[in-house]
């Protein structure tokens, strides 16, 4: 029920209300109409729908269908269904087409995505190449600047200059003046220019005789000297161009009797007048060398045959000199020729081990009988003999062997001469004792002599057997070639008056120093005394790409002897040959390359250092820029070889690749060598030999040699890291696969070759290693032939031989680099190292090489070299030296 209330305004009708009230009433009426009208309409329509719905519901019955609907037959229904199926098929076909188009679009999208990734990688690759090229350009600009700024260009070898005239006839003042001869006063240097080639002229011994009638030169010496000089490039047949004239005096074959030190002219076999009549004597004998090679049995006394002869300005070379007649730095003391024809060979040498042998000190000799009072033993000499005899009764564990009386076989040699002592026994018996001696006692000759054949001969025998010489009275004598050989590293010199200190002194020398001296004994004996004849990589900027440039060669020919002459004669050198470069060439101090000596140096960050980016732009280090050569040994594995060479493409600092084709069958003429950006040279070996791995070939133009097998697989970063490490250890083998020699605990007297995991190694295999080219020369020119023969016999062990050689020379172990991520070529044909007999042969090689060397030079090391910053956490804006090393 509604209640209606009528509101009346005092002013009358609603239209008389205020305007805002009228608007409110109008809006309200409109809203009421808008709301009510849809409601009435919905109610009406709902009634109609219900009525129609009832009719429709009833129409589901076929009886109630209209007539027209009953007229629809089955055929029409089938047509309708078919039409519906056609529409369905069409829709499905369109859906399949749309799905196919969708798949194609997705594939295109994926292809575009891959293209985008490839373009990104290519962009990175090109960016890396661009950076490399930028570095290369910068390096080339630096090299150009150095070439323009250098004050002195590389010196060319001077023109060869030799004299073309005979010695002018001049007269020499007197024999007194000849005794004062020195090189600056008696030698004509004008005939020996720097470029003359040091020509030597040999007087034919059979035509130019300077001996008295009834004397003759030993035929063996004449033949040997001719043969030795026949292979010498300095020999000349033109006396006009000669620098020196060699006169063979040799050893007179006539027996020496009634020798008296006071009447030395009785033993002289030299005809002074014949000497002055030599065809090119020139009046004073300048630049002549009188060569007196003693070869006689050391039990025969000898003297200075030139003591009563005026030799003018000629140089005397012999074993026996008196203090009065010897001219320092002019005459030359040599050892007698004691070895068999061709020289002693390595079999004559005993082993260097053990350090302490059966006897601590030995001596075999006899004091010569003396009838005259002035030749009686002095008080000091008697004391020395008594003290030595007392050592035979020592209560220590040391054993001595002294023989002061010889057998009757030596009685005929007991004549007074320059030697106070005569040898006892035969050469073989003395050798047997010396091989069991740690030290060998040698007595100096009487005070009138500075050197004798017996003294030098005893020294020779001691060195040959590895017995360290102890020279009693060593303060008054000189040994052979002492101008250049540091004998104090070989022998012990003890004054006579210090005989009581002898035992104590020898006991204070530790085993390490005994072996060090014995090794030096072996070096000196072999070199100077044994013979008279000479014999797809990770994208990483690893460095600039530069054209090949050779390592400097023969730059120290004339300064080497001045600055490192002693090392050349006593350590690593060979004074009879010139090599392009040596691994021991000195380095400049660090600041020199920034203060006037920086030519060729490439300091990292121009001297400021830096991380990986700056590191990859320059070699740095302590030596100037250089490159390396890959020396690759192969045998009929062409595809393996080509793959190995192809992997070197784009390798920075690569000078060239030298392939040693180690097969009698030449490579296929149609073989196409890959283009790697560096020259590839192929050398056909004369025969199949693993020794060919170390051929000192002419086309090896760099000091650094990377020796690799044809199936070795090394990444670029591994190779370059090995190269950088080798530059800091130029005298050692630096490489990847490490091995070691293990003591055979079962036999207790031999070594085993071992490749098991170990915390020590003593060898780095040369199938993947850097080494200096100098060692290739030494392998063929210095290493005993017996070792190379053994390599050919087993077709194995050349890498062990090279490790023996380098360790013997340097007395240092090799250097292993990195953990060797990759090495062998997967899928390559079987190599020799996989044969069952391979290791057995290598066991035998180590023991045989030890026998040849007299000891085992291999030394163990317990570390390897890894890159700086490899395991260091660095800021995100910095780069490691190598990403994976």
Catalytic residue numbers read 799
Give the residue from 452, 169, 133 showing the smallest Cα distance to 299: 452
Q: What is the DSSP letter of 439?
A: E
- Residue 459's contacts (CB-CB under 8 Å, 6 or more residues apart) are 335, 442, 469, 471, 479, 480, 491
- Rg of the chain over Cα atoms, rounded to whole angstroms, equals 49
Q: Give the span between the Cα atoms of 168 and 15, in whole angstroms.
A: 162
- Cβ neighbors of 712 (< 8 A, separation 6 or more) are 644, 767, 768, 823, 824, 825
Query: For residue 721, what is the enclosing H or E element?
Result: helix 716-728
All residues at 6 or more sequence positions from 294 whose CB lies less than 8 Å from its CB, including other chains: 251, 302, 318, 319, 320, 336, 337, 453
Q: Reduce the DSSP state of residue 691 to 3 states and report it.
A: helix
CB 593 within 8 A of CB 603: yes
Structure tokens at 498: 């210090």
DSSP conformation letters of 170-232: -----HHHHTT--HHHH--GGGS-TTS---EEE--TTTS--BPTT--B-HHHHHHHHHHHHT-
Q: Is residue 248 within a helix (H) or strand (E), and if so which, with residue range?
A: strand 244-248
CB-based burial of residue 129 (10 Å sphere; 0-12 exposed, 13-18 middle, 19+ buried)? middle
Q: What are the tokens at 213?
A: 């009638």
| Tokens found for residue 824 | 């062998």
Side-chain-side CA neighbours of 296 within 13 Å: the count stands at 23
Crossing angle of helices 837-853/785-794, nearest 10°?
170
Which ranges of 502-646 would DSSP assign to H, the alpha helix? Answer: 502-507, 511-524, 560-563, 565-570, 612-617, 638-646
Backbone φ/ψ region at 777: left (φ over 0), alpha (ψ -120 to 50), beta: alpha
- Eight-state DSSP code of residue 12: B
Which token pair is 203? Answer: 């007087």
CA angle 244, 247, 252 (to 5 degrees): 160
How far apart are the C-alpha atoms of 735 and 741, rounded to whole Å? 17
- Tokens read off for 412: 């005929």
User: What backbone torsions phi and psi does residue 706 show, to the nearest 5 degrees?
Assistant: -100, 105
Q: What is the 3-state secondary structure (H, E, C) of 348-377?
A: HCCCCCCCCCCEEEEEEEEECCCCCHHHCC
- Where on the phi/psi map is residue 93: left (φ > 0), alpha (ψ -120 to 50), or beta? alpha
C-alpha–C-alpha distance, residues 425 and 297, integer Å: 12
d(CA 245, CA 603): 52
Helices (runs of H) and strands (runs of E) counted in the chain: 21, 24
φ, ψ of residue 879 to 5 degrees: the values are: -125, 140
């Amino acid at each position: 029920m509604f209640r209606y209330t009528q509101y009346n305004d005092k002013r009358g009708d609603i239209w008389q209300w205020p305007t805002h009230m009228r608007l409110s009433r109008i809006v309200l009426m409109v809203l009421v109409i808008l709301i009510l009208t849809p409601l009435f309409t919905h109610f009406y329509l709902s009634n109609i729908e219900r009525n129609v719905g009832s009719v429709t519901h009833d129409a589901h019955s076929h009886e109630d269908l209209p007539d027209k609907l009953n007229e629809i037959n089955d055929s029409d229904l089938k047509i309708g269904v078919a039409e519906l199926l056609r529409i369905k098929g069409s829709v499905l076909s369109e859906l399949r087409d749309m799905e196919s188009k969708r798949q194609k679009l997705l594939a295109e999208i994926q292809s575009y995505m891959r293209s985008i990734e490839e373009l990104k990688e290519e962009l990175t690759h090109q960016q890396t190449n661009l950076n490399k090229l930028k570095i290369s350009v910068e390096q080339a600009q630096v090299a150009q600047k150095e070439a323009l700024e250098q004050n002195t260009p590389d010196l060319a070898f001077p023109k060869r200059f030799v004299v073309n005239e005979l010695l002018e006839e001049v007269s020499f003042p007197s024999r007194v003046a000849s005794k004062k001869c020195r090189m600056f006063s008696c030698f004509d240097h004008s005939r020996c220019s720097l470029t003359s080639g040091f020509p030597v002229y040999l007087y034919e011994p059979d035509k130019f005789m300077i001996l008295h009638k009834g004397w003759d030169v030993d035929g063996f010496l004449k033949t040997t000297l001719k043969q030795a000089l026949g292979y010498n490039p300095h020999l000349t047949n033109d006396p006009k161009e000669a620098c020196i004239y060699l006169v063979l005096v040799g050893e007179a074959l006539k027996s020496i009797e009634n020798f008296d030190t006071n009447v030395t002219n009785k033993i002289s076999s030299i005809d002074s007048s014949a000497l002055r009549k030599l065809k090119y004597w020139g009046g004073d004998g300048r630049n002549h060398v009188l060569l007196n090679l003693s070869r006689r049995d050391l039990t025969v006394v000898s003297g200075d045959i030139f003591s009563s002869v005026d030799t003018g300005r000629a140089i005397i070379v012999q074993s026996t000199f008196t203090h009065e007649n010897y001219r320092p730095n002019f005459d030359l003391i040599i050892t007698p020729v004691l070895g068999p024809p061709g020289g002693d060979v390595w079999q004559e040498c005993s082993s260097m081990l053990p350090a302490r042998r059966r006897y601590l000190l030995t001596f075999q000799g006899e004091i010569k009988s003396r009838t005259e009072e002035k030749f009686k033993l002095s008080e000091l000499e008697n004391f020395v003999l008594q003290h030595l005899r007392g050592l035979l009764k020592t209560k220590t564990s040391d054993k001595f062997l002294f023989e002061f009386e010889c057998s009757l076989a030596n009685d005929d040699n007991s004549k007074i001469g320059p030697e106070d002592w005569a040898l006892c026994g035969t050469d073989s018996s003395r050798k047997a004792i010396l091989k069991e001696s740690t030290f060998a006692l040698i007595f100096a000759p009487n005070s009138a002599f500075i050197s004798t054949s017996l003294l030098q001969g005893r020294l020779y025998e001691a060195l040959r057997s590895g017995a360290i010489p102890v020279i009693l009275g060593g303060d008054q004598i000189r040994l052979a070639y002492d101008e250049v050989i540091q004998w104090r590293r070989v022998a012990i010199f003890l004054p006579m008056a210090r005989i009581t200190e002898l035992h104590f002194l020898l006991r204070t020398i530790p085993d390490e120093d005994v072996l060090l001296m014995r090794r030096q004994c072996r070096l000196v004996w072999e070199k100077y005394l044994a013979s008279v004849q000479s014999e797809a990589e990770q994208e990483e900027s690893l460095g600039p790409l530069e054209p090949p440039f050779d390592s400097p060669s023969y730059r120290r020919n004339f300064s080497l002897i001045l600055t490192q002459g002693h090392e050349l004669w006593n350590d690593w050198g060979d004074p009879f040959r010139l090599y392009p470069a040596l691994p021991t060439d000195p380095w400049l101090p660090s600041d020199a390359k920034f203060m006037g000596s920086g030519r060729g140096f490439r300091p990292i960050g121009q001297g400021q250092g830096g991380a990986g980016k700056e590191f990859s732009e320059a070699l740095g280090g302590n030596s100037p820029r250089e490159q390396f050569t890959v020396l690759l040994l192969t045998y009929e594995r062409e595809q393996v070889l080509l793959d190995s060479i192809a992997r070197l493409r784009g390798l920075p600092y690569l000078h060239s690749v030298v392939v040693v084709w180690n097969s009698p069958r030449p490579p296929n003429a149609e073989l196409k060598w890959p283009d790697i950006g560096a020259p590839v040279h192929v050398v056909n070996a004369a025969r199949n030999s693993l020794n060919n791995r170390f051929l000192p070939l002419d086309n090896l133009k760099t000091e650094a040699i990377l020796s690799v097998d044809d199936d070795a697989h090394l990444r670029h970063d591994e190779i370059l890291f090995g190269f950088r490490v080798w530059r800091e250890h130029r005298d050692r083998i630096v490489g990847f696969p490490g091995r070691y020699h293990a003591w055979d605990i079962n036999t207790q007297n031999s070594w085993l070759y071992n490749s098991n995991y170990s915390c020590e190694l003593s060898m780095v295999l040369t199938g993947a290693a850097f080494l200096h080219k100098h060692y290739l020369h030494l392998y063929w020119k210095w290493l005993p032939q017996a070792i190379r023969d053994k390599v050919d016999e087993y077709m194995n062990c050349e890498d062990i031989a090279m490790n023996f050689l380098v360790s013997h020379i340097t007395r240092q172990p090799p250097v292993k680099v990195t953990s060797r991520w990759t090495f062998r070529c997967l899928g390559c044909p079987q190599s020799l190292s996989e044969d069952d007999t391979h290791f057995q042969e290598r066991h035998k090689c180590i023991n045989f090489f030890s026998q040849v060397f007299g000891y085992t030079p291999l030394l163990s090391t317990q570390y390897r070299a890894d890159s700086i910053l490899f395991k260091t956490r660095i800021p995100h804006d910095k780069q490691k030296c190598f990403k994976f090393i």
